[in-house]
Homo-oligomer: A and B are copies of this chain.
Amino acid sequence: MADDALVIFTPSGKRGRFAFGTPVLTAARQLGVDLDSVCGGRGICSKCQISPGYGEFAKHGVTVAAEALTEWNAVEEHYRSKRGMMEGRRLGCQAQVMGDVVIDVPPESQVHKQVIRKSATQRDIVMDPATRLIYIEVDEPDMHEPSGDFERVSKALAAQWQVEGVEADLAILRRLQPVLRKGAWKITVALHKGNHDRAPRILDLWPGFHEGGLYGLAIDLGSTTIAAHLCDLRDGEVLASSGLMNPQIRFGEDLMSRVSYAMMNPGGDVEMTRAVRETINALAGSIAAEAGVDPQAIYEVVFVCNPVMHHLLMGIDPVELGQAPFALATSGSLSLDARELDLVAINRAARVYVLPCIAGHVGADCAAVALSEEPGKSKDLVLIVDVGTNAEILLGNESRVLACSSPTGPAFEGAQISSGQRAAPGAIERVEIDAATKEPRFKVIGSDLWSTEAGFAEATATSGITGICGSGIIEAVAEMRMAGLVDQSGLIGGPDQTGTARSVPEGRTHSYVLHDGTATGGPMILVTQGDIRAIQLAKAALYAGARLLMDEMGVDVVDRVTLAGAFGAHISPKHAMVLGMIPDVPLDRVISAGNAAGTGARIALCNVGARNAIEVTVGEIHKVETAIEPRFQEHFVNASAIPNAVDTFPELSKIVTLPDVAFNTAGSGSDGGRRRRRG
C-alpha cells in the first residue's frame, strides 16, 4: 500500500503526490498553489483555510475518502471556538494528507485574490501589494553565537519566508530589541517587497502575532483636484474615496501659469511644493478619519500626476517644462520614503511609488490610464481621452500605442465658465433644450428629477441651484447648438434670430438664460458667448490632439473611444460628439472609464508587479509632442467650429440633426482669424 497520496487543488488544478502526514499548506507551497498564510503554518493566523471535497470526483479521476485528511484537531477547535469558522473548512496548516484528496482554496484564502470589478468601468485587480504582514519566530541571542538581533531576524525571514537580505532603517533598529523581548522572540513585521533590485525592507514591527490593518493611498494629483482612494492592502477594498482642491490654484489655474509663477517668483516653486504637500497630508488625515482607519496604518502611497504636478510634488522647479524641449528632470518611476515628501500624516516608514512619466507633457497620469485601460492589449483601435485641465490622449492597439497631451484648460471642469463650478450638489449637470420652444430643462447634482418635474423645487431646496459643472456646460452648449441657438461658428443668436427671450444681449454679444433664480434670491445662470468660446477652445484642443495621433497612426477613424477622467465619467457621449470633442464613432462604442488615472494608481498600489509592467509599457509608448507639431495648430484651428457634424459623420444623423444656421453679429470679430465651415 502506498504511503503517499494524490492532492489536487482547485481552482488552480495543480496536483502532486505527497507523503502521508504532509500538511495541506506544505503541499500547496510546494506546488506553488496560492494559499495565504501570515504565521507560516503555526496555526495562529487562520489565513490558510481550505475546503476539502469528499466523494467521487470523476473530473479528476479520484474518490476522496472521509479519512483523506487527519482529524479535526485542537488548534482548529480553538480557533473555531474563538473566532468562528465556516462549516466544512479546515486549517491548511493543521490538516494533513492521509489519502487522495481534492482541496478547494476559497478566494479569501488566496494571497493573490482578485478584487472583482463592481461596475463595467472597474478593472479587476489581482492583489499582490508591496507590503504585507509576516509572522516570524526568531532565535534567541546566544553568547557563543554573537550575532545581532537584527541579523537573527534576517535569518528567520530567510529561513521561514525565503526573504533574503532584508533591510531596516535606524528607526526600526531602535525599536527592535524591546519588541523582540516583549514578543518572547515572536514578532510580526510589515515587510515591503524589494523591487528594482532594491532589498526588501521592514517598515514596522509588533510583538507576537499582529493582525492590524495595512492600508495604502492611491492619489491622482491633478492640476485642479487631488483625488485619493484609501485601499485595504490585504483585499484591495476601497474604504473611502475623497478629494480636495489643489491649493496651487491660487498660484495659477492651469499648469503653464504655475510654471510662470515659479519663473517669475524666486522660491515660488518651493511655495507651491509646500502647499500641495500640506494638502496631501490633510487629505490623508481626512480620508483615514472617514474610513475609521488609523493614518499610522497607511504604509504605501502611489501617485499619478502630470509632469508639472510631478515636479512640484518632488520639489523640483518645473521651469524646464514651460519651454521647449520640455525636459523632465527625471522620467522614470520613483520609489521614495514618504518623509522625503514631508508626508507626516501617515506612518513614518511609509513608502511612496510614483509612476513614470511618458514625456515632458505626458505624465504619470497618462501612464496610469495606460495601466488601467491597457490600449496595448486592445485588438481594435481605441482612443482614450482623459479629460482634465490637460487632456491626456492615447491611441493604439496591440501593435502600437501613441500618446500626447493637449492643453484643454480648465473649461471642461467648470472653471473659466461664467456660472461654472465644481461638480457638487447644486451644480447643473444635465441639460436639454427643446428645439421648438428653446426652453431648457436640467438636472442638478443631488437630485434625480428634471427641473420640469414635480417635486424638483423641494428636492433642490437644500443645495439650491448654484451653477454649472463641467458635464453641464458641455450639454448646455451642445443642446444650444442642436436647438439652433448657436451657429456653427459658435455665435449665440439674438432674440430676433432665435425667437426666444432667453437670448439676452450682453455687450455686443448674447447670452442664453439657462436658469433665473433671482426671484428666490438665487443666481442668474447664463451661458455667455465667452463660455461658448472657452468650450470651443477646449474641445478644439482635445479634438486636435486626437486627430494628430490619428494622423501619426495613419487612420481616419477609430474603432472605439474611452472617456476617462473623474469628469469623463459624466460626459454624455452624444453631446461630446455634437460638440466635436471626439472623433465620430458609433455611440455604443463610446464608453466612460471613470477616473482611469485613479484606477491605474490603485492597480499599482495593490499589485507590485503592475509597477514593473507599466515601466516597460511606458518605454514602448510613442509620444507625440503637440506643442511643436504644425499639424496640431492646423487641426486646432479647423476644430474650433461646431460644424454640422452630420455632413462629416453620417453616423451622427441617427442621433441628432443640427440646424444649418449662421448668426452674424457685430461682436463676432473675435472669431475672425479662424476658418469657418459654413453649411
Residues of A within 8 A of B (CB): 140-144, 146-151, 165, 169-170, 173-174, 176-178, 197, 199, 314-317, 319-320, 324-332, 336, 340, 357-360, 362, 623, 625, 628
Contact B177 A141 (CB under 8 A): no
Contact A331 B143 (CB under 8 A): no
- A317 CA to B623 CA, complexed, in Å: 54
**Sample (12) of A-B pairs whose CB atoms are under 8 Å apart:** A141-B327, A142-B325, A143-B324, A148-B329, A148-B332, A149-B327, A150-B330, A150-B331, A173-B329, A177-B316, A177-B329, A178-B317
Contact A197 B165 (CB under 8 A): yes
Contact A360 B170 (CB under 8 A): no
Question: Chain B nearest CB: distance from A618 CB in Å?
Answer: 10
Enumerate chain B residues within 8 angstroms of A359, measured Cβ to Cβ: 143, 146
Contact B148 A330 (CB under 8 A): yes
Given A174-B315, A177-B316, residue A331 in contact with residue B197 (CB < 8 A): no
- A362 CA to B147 CA, complexed, in Å: 11
- A360 CA to B177 CA, complexed, in Å: 13
Instruction: Report which of B141, B150, B329 forms a contact with A332, defined as CB distance below 8 A.
Output: B150
- A sample of 14 more A-B contacts (CB under 8 A), given A150-B329, A151-B331, A197-B197, is A141-B326, A141-B327, A141-B360, A146-B358, A146-B623, A148-B327, A148-B331, A149-B327, A149-B328, A151-B330, A169-B340, A170-B314, A170-B315, A177-B317
Contact A143 B332 (CB under 8 A): no
Interface centre among A143, A176, A199 (most CB of B within 10 A): A143
- A325 CA to B169 CA, complexed, in Å: 24
- A107 CA to B142 CA, complexed, in Å: 49
Contact A176 B325 (CB under 8 A): no
Instruction: Report which of B165, B174, B197, B319 forms a contact with A199, defined as CB distance below 8 A.
Output: B197
Question: Chain B nearest CB: distance from A209 CB in Å?
Answer: 22
- A358 CA to B147 CA, complexed, in Å: 8
Which residue of chain B has the shortest Cβ distance to A341 in the bound complex? B170
Question: Chain B nearest CB: distance from A144 CB in Å?
Answer: 8
Contact A357 B148 (CB under 8 A): yes
Given A165-B197, A197-B199, residue A625 in contact with residue B143 (CB < 8 A): yes
Closest 5 CB pairs of A and B: A146-B359, A148-B331, A141-B327, A148-B328, A150-B330
Instruction: Report which of B143, B176, B319, B329 forms a contact with A149, defined as CB distance below 8 A.
Output: B329
Enumerate chain B residues within 8 angstroms of A170, measured Cβ to Cβ: 314-316, 336, 340
Interface centre among A170, A176, A332, A362 (most CB of B within 10 A): A170
Enumerate chain B residues within 8 angstroms of A362, measured Cβ to Cβ: 146
Given A170-B340, A340-B169, residue A143 in contact with residue B326 (CB < 8 A): yes
Which residue of chain B has the shortest Cβ distance to A321 in the bound complex? B177
Which residue of chain B has the shortest Cβ distance to A328 in the bound complex? B148
Which residue of chain B has the shortest Cβ distance to A627 in the bound complex? B143
Given A148-B357, A623-B146, A625-B143, residue A173 in contact with residue B324 (CB < 8 A): no
Question: Chain B nearest CB: distance from A674 CB in Å?
Answer: 27
Contact B146 A316 (CB under 8 A): no
Which residue of chain B has the shortest Cβ distance to A181 in the bound complex? B320
Enumerate chain B residues within 8 angstroms of A314, measured Cβ to Cβ: 170, 173-174
Instruction: Report which of B140, B177, B360 forms a contact with A146, defined as CB distance below 8 A.
Output: B360
Enumerate chain B residues within 8 angstroms of A197, measured Cβ to Cβ: 165, 197, 199
Enumerate chain B residues within 8 angstroms of A149, measured Cβ to Cβ: 320, 327-330
